Amino acid sequence: MPAATAAASTKTVEVKRARPRGWNPGCEPAAAAQPEATPEFKKEQASAQFAHHVRGSLAGPILRYEERLKLLRQAEKLGVGRFEANLVIARVLNEQGMGQEVEWGPDRARKGWALPIGAFVVVQGLVVAGVWWLLRA
């Protein structure tokens, strides 16, 4: 290998990036060195913190209304909206196996038909009485 080629291969090439005019590397603020968290990340972090708070405050299988209101106030302090806070509460309750399941007893099932049938009989009775009154006159 010729000497000129060897010297050229060991020579380092310095590449400079284009920087804005007046830029001074020593004058950067400390905040610029650490990137800011995005609002979505902060929102997710607040939701996760609220979910942890909900898990810690559950006592028993039923979440009373007063307790839910306290949790919603706590969510507001954390910056979580009311709708999202209710979703987080529902998700935590579902994870804990405390979902709201409604099971109707046999008494309730039979009473469900009594009112509509009774109303139908009364209306039909009034129709028959009205027709009889018109025909009698």
- Between CA 115 and CA 93 the distance in angstroms is 35
State whether residue 28 is helix, strand or coil: coil
Structure tokens at 123: 């209306």
Is 84 contained in some domain?
yes
* pTM of the entire predicted model: 0.45
Is 55 contained in some domain?
yes
Q: Say if residues 75 and 61 touch (Cβ distance below 8 Å).
A: no
Is 71 contained in some domain?
yes
3-class SS letters over 62-84: CCCHHHHHHHHHHHHHHCCCHHH
Total domains present in the chain = 1
Is 24 contained in some domain?
no
Angle, alpha carbons 59-61-66 (nearest 5°): 60
Is 116 contained in some domain?
no
**pLDDT by residue, tens only, the chain of 137 residues:** 555 555 555 555 555 555 555 555 555 555 444 445 676 677 788 888 888 888 888 887 778 889 899 999 999 998 889 999 999 998 888 887 776 665 656 665 566 778 889 999 999 999 999 999 999 87
Is 112 contained in some domain?
no
Q: Say if residues 56 and 96 touch (Cβ distance below 8 Å).
A: no
Q: Which domain holds residue 84?
A: 37-99
Structure tokens at 75: 């969510």
